Structure 1
Amino acid sequence: MTVYDLAKPLLFQLPPETAHGLGHGMLALVDGTPIEQLLAHRYVVDDERLRVDAFGQSFRNPVGVAAGFDKNAEAPGALAALGFGHVEVGGVTAEPQAGNPRPRMFRLPEDGGVINRMGLNNDGAAAVGRRLAAADVDVPVGVNIAKTEHVDSADAPADYRETYERVAEGGDFFVVNVSCPNSEGFRELQNRDSMEAILGALVDAGAAPLLVKLSPDLPEPAVEDALELVDELDLDGVVATNTTTDRPASLRSPNRVEKGGLSGKPVEHRATKMVRFVAERTDVPVVGVGGVSTAEDAYRKIRAGASVVQLYTGLIYRGPSIARDINRGLLELLERDGFDSVTDAVGVDLD
């Protein structure tokens, strides 16, 4: 039993956003201090078989932190010290946003899930950009770029470009978020014309490596349209997927009725199916997100075509050792199946 196992019942007595604030605040205090080295000694799994090269970046392992955990780039170094191979900060908007009224995050412990309707609360691109430029992180740091809520859809391309230009110096890769289910005006951004205008504006601004994050709720023809744009604009990758507004019939928690985006174990199968769908239709690397909390979860997405994976909800339920545990488990799975590296296993289940 770990320290987190002992603390978890107490943390789960707190409102989810309060508990997250405590955990994230502790990491922010550690960030950039010598304590990082102590954490890294305990949590980083250093093995060449875990290394992955994708969209111009070198990852020491395939397990990363998804956008939403470190919205304001206050703890990327501490998260790297917990053993993660990359960190995606944000979503970041051009101007600061308070987000939606509380409560806006809900645990579904019976299901291993979370529902959130945070609404892209963040300190704004200027503040996040300054922190990123000053950070010294030994893993790639991605920046999730989103639309400022009050900006009209017609002005979205300029808004995304402004955000990018403010964070460009400190980011290693950039993820275009047109699929947030918890902020006004995002539904219109997912049609082909809107996406083309937004992505084109960022390409013109020199954003690279540039990835797009897709919704699991898009119908297949819309996903195919998005992937055509990825090819036409020569983007560098696809993140599959964001949270879902759907509610599987299997959900048991009373909080299943809350509005917002569902993440965690209830979406694991659906997210892996989307990874496979995307990987079968494009040659760019895929980042697999949704329901990753064990080595087996990560391995299924890798075999389905994901070069790297990300998690957030798993941290809530499994605690700070999750990256270490997944990476150790991946090494066992690779050895079991006769693969020399993670890269060798990427997409082996594709037809």
Structure 2
Amino acid sequence: MSILFQAYPLARAALFSMDAETAHEVTLSTLQRAYDCGVTRKLMHEQPETPTTLMGLTLRNPVGLAAGLDKNGAHIDALGNLGFGFVEVGTVTPRAQPGNPKPRIFRLPRAQALINRLGFNNLGLETFIANVQRSQWRQQGGILGLNIGKNADTPIERAADDYVLGLAGVYPHADYVTVNISSPNTKNLRALQGEDELAALLAQLRDKRAELADQHQRHVPLLVKIAPDLTDAQIDAIADLLPRHGIDGVIATNTTLSRDAVTGLPHAEEAGGLSGPPVHELSLGVIAKLRQRMGTDYPIIGVGGIVSGKQAREKIAAGANAVQVYTGLIYRGPALVSECVQAIRGM
């Protein structure tokens, strides 16, 4: 394991010489080949057990993979075996869509950050579910989250239709389902975080989930992923609405539209969501406010800007029950997962 982890800085140099989206695809295909050959199969079992209970689910450890890295759920087993306690894939939309025009991912290495404006590019619900069904992660005891969104050409006033379709499709195959209403790269999507809009969406999802729970004889937790760019009033409304509508948890946070922390850096003015360390403090603020408003028991998953064990620990200290990584994995490689587990374990 240590040889593989130590080799990542060399691999990163080669990957960072490529276009960011090409490098992403090369990384996933290489990781898949390594898993298929058995190279990474032991990594999950070498990770120290740090059992965490969240929403009635038992996680091997409280460090998860954030949605967005594997949009089509095609590499669940390979990614899970890097030592994650849980893996979230997607965002999937009911119909396949290409996303926004390329180039649409930009590195800001001095800030260990990324800007992306991918726009929910994915192969659609049918392919996504087939990929999920082929994976063995859940049978191996891994926890799998499936992240759903709306198609770009679905009018915002019809957004709930797409989310209900997505929920129905993924429900039998998920340990939990995340409702993504916070990507900045689908026009008007963040408007669904408004109090009235969110209440209407959650009511439909609550009713559909009750019907699905009856049909499948199991309760699948439902979470909402929110933005870091919320006002206190919006956070108050979210803190009130989620438990009122039976939503089981919240993921805080998605990428930010703010550029304050990266002003002057190459690519800083590109449109899209900024991820990596510049989001960390924003995310911490949202987590702390949610915890204060929602009490000690409501499940919160902290994500945004974790590039070291220290930041993972800070997310937990702010009030998160578990964390997810994405951009940090690109800059640090798989050693980050173990570092975060150890840091949280030592709290």
Aligned-partner Cα distance in 1 for 2:51–2:292: 23
Aligned-partner Cα distance in 1 for 2:55–2:44: 25
Q: Give the 3 Å change call, closer, same or farther, for CA 254–46 of structure 1 in structure 2.
A: closer
Amino acid at match of 1:238: V
1:177 to 176, 180, 190: 180
Amino acid at match of 1:229: L
After superposition, give the CA deviation of every residue in 1:274-312 in whole Å (9 maximum; x if it has no partner). Answer: 111111111411000001111111001111111110011
Aligned-partner Cα distance in 1 for 2:148–2:267: 29
Deviation at 1:187, TM superposition (A): 3.0
Q: 1:122 is matched with which residue?
A: 122
CA contact (8 A) 2:255 2:275 kept: yes
Q: 2:270 is matched with which residue?
A: 258
Equivalent residue of 2:26, what SS? helix
Amino acid at match of 1:214: I
Deviation at 1:139, TM superposition (A): 1.3
Q: How does 1:50-69 map to 2 (within 5 A)?
A: 50-69=50-69
Q: 1:4 is matched with which residue?
A: 8
Aligned-partner Cα distance in 2 for 1:330–1:226: 27
Aligned-partner Cα distance in 2 for 1:226–1:56: 22
Q: Normalized against structure 2, the TM-score is what? A: 0.90
Q: Give the 3 Å change call, closer, same or farther, for CA 296–102 of structure 1 in structure 2.
A: same
Q: 1:300 is matched with which residue?
A: 314
Deviation at 1:329, TM superposition (A): 3.4
CA contact (8 A) 2:47 2:338 kept: no
Q: 1:330 is matched with which residue?
A: 344
After superposition, give the CA deviation of every residue in 1:152-195 in whole Å (9 maximum; x if it has no partner). Answer: 12211121111111122211101111111011131321212221
Q: 2:153 is matched with which residue?
A: 150
RMSD: 1.7
Aligned-partner Cα distance in 1 for 2:201–2:37: 41
Structure 1, unaligned runs of 5 or more: 335-351
Give the total of aligned pairs. 329
Aligned-partner Cα distance in 1 for 2:262–2:124: 38
Q: Normalized against structure 1, the TM-score is what? A: 0.89
After superposition, give the CA deviation of every residue in 1:30-79 in whole Å (9 maximum; x if it has no partner). Answer: 56x462xx42424545444x211001211111111111001000111111
Q: 1:87 is matched with which residue?
A: 87
Q: 1:209 is matched with which residue?
A: 221
Matched, 1:136 2:139: no
1:276 to 278, 282, 288: 288
2:301 to 275, 287, 297: 287
Equivalent residue of 1:129, what SS? helix
CA contact (8 A) 1:106 1:114 kept: yes
CA contact (8 A) 1:28 1:74 kept: no
Q: How does 1:173-252 map to 2 (within 5 A)?
A: 173-206=176-209, 208-252=220-264
Q: 1:338 is matched with which residue?
A: none
Aligned-partner Cα distance in 1 for 2:24–2:285: 29
CA contact (8 A) 1:45 1:324 kept: no
After superposition, give the CA deviation of every residue in 1:122-143 in whole Å (9 maximum; x if it has no partner). Answer: 1111111122123210311101
Q: 1:166 is matched with which residue?
A: 169
CA contact (8 A) 1:149 1:185 kept: no
Identity %: 38
Aligned-partner Cα distance in 2 for 1:329–1:185: 38
2:323 to 272, 285, 309: 309
CA contact (8 A) 1:132 1:169 kept: no
CA contact (8 A) 2:235 2:286 kept: no
CA contact (8 A) 2:92 2:149 kept: yes
